[in-house]
Structure 1
Amino acid sequence: MRLIRKAALGATALTAAVALSGCSGGGSDKAAGERNAEPRSIVQALRAVAKKTDEARTAKVEMTMSMPGAAGGEMKMSGVTGWNPTVMDVTATGSALAQDGGPGEMRMLWVDNVMYMQVDEESAESFGGKPWLKMDLQAMAEKSGDENLVKSMTGGLQDMNQDPAQQMGLLLDSPNIKRVGKETIDGVATEHYSGTLTMKEALEANSSTDFLTEEERKELLDGMEKSGVKGFDIEVWVDERDYPAKIDMTMDSPEGTMTISQRYSDYGTPVSVKAPPAGETTDLMEMFEELGKAGQEQPSGF
């Protein structure tokens, strides 16, 4: 079960990564060109950020996550990501994966709302030599009787269908968004913005309605509440083309504080993620069902 728990940790990290990648933003080329002609308000700038990134749909990403709790630790990811539809091909490393003799490095794919995780050769022997694990998170959440495992695997699942404009809509709900000033990130000139938002403020605000339908907004906030998130702080560094060069986000939860630092580049880069061949894949949902049937058929006294 150690490998399954490790897979659950990877699922949590990947779903959080995809959900929070929606906080990346941009603005129209026209708006960027007019920046020097007439200063934009903070709201105008962030709305433009959401619009341009939504249109870009893909980017290269480098991300560092620090997760609380006994199963937490640090994880780094690098690769490519896309939204509308959600796709991802990243390699993860770090102490969070290396716990309890874990591999310390793992390639993870997200395609067609399913997660695939590549296991090492030794682990693959436990799955008939198949190097990929398939995790249909929603199906597993509905079928599994292990509430802790469900919580681990679906920690960020409620936010999976939120696109960048919708995430930026939540940032625009912050009552204290501010323009921090000009800063250089990795040699790139940027404008730094920051904001905070409690769940109470998010529930009472209505400025995000341009980006979210009422139903989408309710589902997103309900999901955050159920996961125990109390609020979040976000900082965004936007380059001269109105693309974010860096995003830092901090969220408070019952287990502690999760921090995520994301660096984006090459917006619009081609991203083609394909599911591994079925013959090289073990479906964990099917495996769980088979184990459950075996347990039910086991004679009493064993």
Structure 2
Amino acid sequence: MLGSGDTGRGDVVFTAMCTFIVAALTGSAALLGLVGCDPDHGDTTAPTARTSAPVSAPPEVTEALRAAHTATDRAGSARVDAVLRIGDRMSTTTRGTLGWSDGLSGTLTIGYTGGSMARTMRELGSARTEARFVADVYYARMSDKFAALAQGRHWVKYRYDASTNFAPNQSVALLLAAGDARKVGRETVRGVSTTHYTGTVRVADLPTEGPDAAGSADLRKQLQDAGVTSQRVDVWIDARNLLVKRVERSGTASGAMDTTAHYSDFGAPVKAGKAPPAEDTVDYQDLLDQS
């Protein structure tokens, strides 16, 4: 799908698209599986997992996190305000309304605010982009300058595994997998009284046998694919058991990653996104194959 006859264009488009998809999927830790798309950064091999989990979190913490996971899942939608930083390579802002009651839906605005990859996006005229979730497909709206490199096509199509949970309660699920999950205390987040919980998920501690093995398999693969051996997770839960803030920190194949997201207006209407015209769409895998 790339244009021909322009030296270096393939490398520029490849770099930009890896960065774009990593940034746009900041709604959950599952995005870590995409960080490893840059072949020039690091070993993505994680240690062998243990066959049993570490010491469990206190029962009251586990109960509170399970309640938060259920309540946030049932809410079905929320307004999202998030920031992401991956080393000195890029930083982004993400805003919009996301729904997750029947697969992902909604439209987000992604702004590139700093780092080397942000400069690449600006050079492509895509410092601010639109992201659409339609069923199990994610679409990224790029610029006219990008389209000139992709046979006139403005939208990049990325199909992800529909079984992967990009909803905010995925962060709570991550924390439930941390054997050291604990309650930090009461804190106020943007005027809302919350309870703060924290813990570290270690790939080596995820069980490979027993009743929890099946539920850990996808998480282990996502983290291993991104070169992550451990991930710090903090969540803030309000009186309705809803996740109103999350912070995740980890080292990845593309550098240290920090994500902070705030959620509000749970149950807010979600603008139904539509798939762009096929003639104006290029598949991410085609760009990857030709880079």
Q: Does 1:131 align with 2:149?
A: no
Q: Residues 229 and 158 of structure 1: is their aligned pair in 2 closer, same or farther, counting only changes over 3 Å?
A: farther
Match of 1:76 in 2: 93
Q: Is the 8 A contact 2:14 2:288 kept in 1?
A: no
Q: Which runs of 5+ in 1 are unaligned?
A: 22-39, 138-156, 293-302
Q: Does 1:55 align with 2:74?
A: yes
Which of 1 and 2 has higher RCO (CA within 8 Å, sep 6+)?
A: 2
The structure carrying a bigger helix percent of its residues is: 1
Q: Is the 8 A contact 1:173 1:205 kept in 2?
A: no
Q: Give the TM-score normalised by the residue count of structure 1.
A: 0.70
Q: Residues 55 and 126 of structure 1: is their aligned pair in 2 closer, same or farther, counting only changes over 3 Å?
A: same
Match of 2:37 in 1: none
Deviation at 1:87, TM superposition (A): 2.9
**3-state DSSP class of the match of 1:242?**
coil
Q: Residues 95 and 164 of structure 1: is their aligned pair in 2 closer, same or farther, counting only changes over 3 Å?
A: closer
Deviation at 1:159, TM superposition (A): 8.2
Match of 1:147 in 2: none
Distance 2:236 2:77 in 1: 18
The residue identity in structure 2 corresponding to 1:76 is T
Q: Which runs of 5+ in 2 are unaligned?
A: 1-9, 32-58
Out of 87, 112, 116, the position equivalent to 2:105 is 87
Q: Is the 8 A contact 1:95 1:104 kept in 2?
A: no
The residue identity in structure 1 corresponding to 2:103 is P
Distance 2:221 2:285 in 1: 26
Higher alpha-carbon Rg = 1
Runs of 4+ with >6 A deviation: 204-207
Moved more, 58-67 or 189-198: 189-198
Q: Is the 8 A contact 1:68 1:256 kept in 2?
A: yes
Match of 1:186 in 2: 190
**3-state DSSP class of the match of 2:240?**
coil
The number of residue pairs the alignment matches comes to: 247
Match of 1:282 in 2: 282
Out of 195, 200, 218, the position equivalent to 2:199 is 195
The residue identity in structure 1 corresponding to 2:251 is D
Deviation at 1:57, TM superposition (A): 2.0
Match of 1:36 in 2: none
Q: Give the TM-score normalised by the residue count of structure 2.
A: 0.73
Moved more, 263-272 or 276-285: 276-285
